[in-house]
Amino acid sequence: MGSLLNSHSQILGRVIKGFPYPDRECALCSKPLQLVNAIHSDQDMHHYKAIYVCGYEDCPAFDYADRKAYVKLYYSSEEAQIVFEDILLPVYGRREKGLDDD
């Protein structure tokens, strides 16, 4: 990982299908957060950084027009935080349908 991960680098990351990511809930509306991206250590995939987003329209933080939502960063370990804290990951969220949507 060394030379590829410079301070404030941006990489794509990926959510590994079937990996046991913990479920998280929004601190503002208590609904389940959507896991949208993650980056794992090459040496041990259980050391990772994950990004969760609340895309529910009734969440107080949600504003579709301004592209705002509640976001939670999760580090699986202290080692993961040390390695990944300066790595920027893109956020791929989706908006949940509201009552007025078809």
Q: What is the pLDDT of residues 54-68, one digit of tens each?
A: 989 999 999 888 888
Average pLDDT of every residue of the chain: 83
Here the tokens at position 67 are 């592209």
Question: Would you state the pLDDT for residue 96?
Answer: 52
Q: Select from 91, 72, 60, 87 the least CA-distant residue to 25.
A: 72
Percent of the chain with pLDDT over 90: 59
Judged against a pLDDT cut of 50, whether residue 101 lies above it is answered with no
Here the tokens at position 69 are 């939502």
* Single-letter amino acid, residue 60: P
Question: Would you state the pLDDT for residue 93?
Answer: 57
